[in-house]
């Protein structure tokens, strides 16, 4: 199809060369068959490394899914999140949402090393993040989907973008909708992608405010269920313990299921940003939380679709990019 720049992994141009906004379902310039000639074993290699990593550390699946999210929301899905400090930019690893928080870099390095052996300088680090997120979802019991590939790696990172674009855990529902909309994602994407919190852990510092002073009146968040509130105080005391961790889904933290939404229905969402999907008085997100709590297939289908949409976020203009040899450094 003319103008589609098929398989070249640049994207950002719509039909007839007209600039399009990022994200959404608009054509991304990616293809699920991008590596079918150049590296047909790419996904198998990813899965085999993931299997070992997740069996050693079951939380790793969660951490890798989150890494893809934190990449895509900053300059698009270009592996900017993987870059270490460089003379011309500061690593995104130092941003407020990422510092002492994101993990999984060693697993990405291991996947990259195996892929460089099998197919030198072929599979981008940005695609590795997307493949690792999908593989982690599947290996945790979640949905599978056809994954568009052909992303290119950035030649810079944006610490500032990372601080600005990744929403904080105390976000209001309006903040969340705005933040997702800025990436070309809608309320449905917000709710389905938040369902990734069916896996993984969060530090005390990310939910402490809810326990002790949610509204500046030294009172807990009234939307927090009582017994859960008491349990959380045990993990997260008023002073200290900031790095203690608690599961985002207390019932099934290493299984990808719709338990997250059931817990929100009973006032047991961990973060403000989780609970406001229901309590924020926004009809659309409230209805979706209920629908996903009732129907796990509906959630799985939406999650898969929204992951593809998130994975398509890219810059409209910008550098040509490259396929990095080492995900931590530009070539
Ligand atoms: C809607 C806005 C979101 C907010 C405010 C948010 C916030 C957070 C916070 C604060 C943590 C805990 C971090 C820590 O304690 O260091 C976390 C963990 C996590 N987030 Fe989100 N998140 C959001 C959306 C997403 C999305 C879209 C995904 C993926 C599609 C995602 C996947 C995860 C996962 C899997 C974890 C657990 C990570 C681990 O255990 O290592 N989150 N999130
Ligand atoms: Ca990025
Ligand atoms: Ca779960």
**Does residue 278 register a pLDDT over 70?**
yes
CA of 81 to the centre of ligand 2 (A): 6
pTM: 0.93
CA of 15 to the centre of ligand 2 (A): 24
Q: What is the ipTM of this complex?
A: 0.99
**CB 97 near ligand 1, within 6 Å:** no
**CB 130 near ligand 1, within 6 Å:** no
**240 labelled ligand-binding:** no
**CB 59 near ligand 1, within 6 Å:** yes
What is the number of helices (H) and of strands (E) in the chain? 13, 2
Per-residue confidence band for 104, with pLDDT thresholds at 50, 70 and 90? very high
**DSSP letter for each residue of 13-77:** B-GGG-B--SSTTS--S-BTTTTTTT-TTHHHHHHHHHHHHHHH-TTHHHHHHHHHHHHHTTTBS
N-to-C CA span, the chain: 32
Ligand nearest to the CA of 310: 1
Going from the N-terminus, what domains does the chain have, and what CATH number goes with each? Answer: 15-166 (1.10.520.10), 173-308 (1.10.420.10)
Catalytic residues: 70
Tens digit of pLDDT for each residue in 186-222?
999 999 999 999 999 999 999 999 999 999 999 999 9
């Amino acid at each position: 199809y003319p103008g589609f720049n098929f398989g070249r992994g640049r994207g950002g141009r719509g039909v007839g060369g007209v600039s399009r906004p990022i994200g959404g379902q608009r054509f991304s310039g990616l293809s699920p068959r991008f590596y079918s000639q150049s590296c047909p074993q790419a996904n198998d290699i990813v899965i085999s490394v993931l299997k070992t990593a997740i069996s050693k550390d079951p939380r790793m699946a969660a951490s890798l899914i989150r890494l893809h999210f934190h990449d895509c929301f900053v300059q698009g899905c270009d592996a900017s999140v993987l870059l270490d400090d460089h003379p011309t930019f500061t690593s995104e690893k130092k941003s407020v949402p990422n510092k002492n928080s994101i993990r999984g870099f060693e697993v990405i390095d291991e996947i990259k090393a195996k892929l460089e052996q099998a197919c030198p300088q072929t599979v981008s680090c940005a695609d590795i993040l997307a493949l690792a997120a999908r593989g982690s979802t599947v290996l945790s019991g979640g949905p599978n989907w056809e994954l568009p590939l052909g992303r290119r790696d950035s030649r810079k990172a944006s610490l500032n973008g990372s601080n600005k674009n990744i929403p904080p855990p105390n976000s209001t529902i309006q903040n969340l909708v705005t933040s997702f909309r800025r990436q070309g994602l809608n309320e449905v994407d917000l709710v389905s992608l938040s369902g990734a919190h069916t896996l993984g852990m969060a530090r005390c510092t990310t939910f402490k405010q809810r326990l002790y002073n949610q509204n500046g009146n030294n009172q807990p968040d009234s939307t927090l269920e009582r017994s859960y509130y008491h349990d959380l105080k045990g993990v997260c005391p008023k002073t200290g313990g900031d790095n203690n961790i608690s599961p985002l889904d207390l019932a099934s933290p290493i299984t990808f299921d719709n338990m997250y939404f059931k817990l929100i229905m009973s006032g047991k969402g961990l973060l403000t940003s989780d609970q406001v999907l229901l309590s924020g008085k926004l009809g659309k997100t409230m209805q979706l939380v209920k629908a996903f709590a009732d129907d796990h297939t509906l959630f799985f289908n939406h999650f898969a679709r929204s992951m593809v949409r998130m994975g398509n976020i890219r810059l409209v203009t910008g550098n040509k990019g490259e396929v990095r040899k080492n995900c931590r450094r530009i070539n």
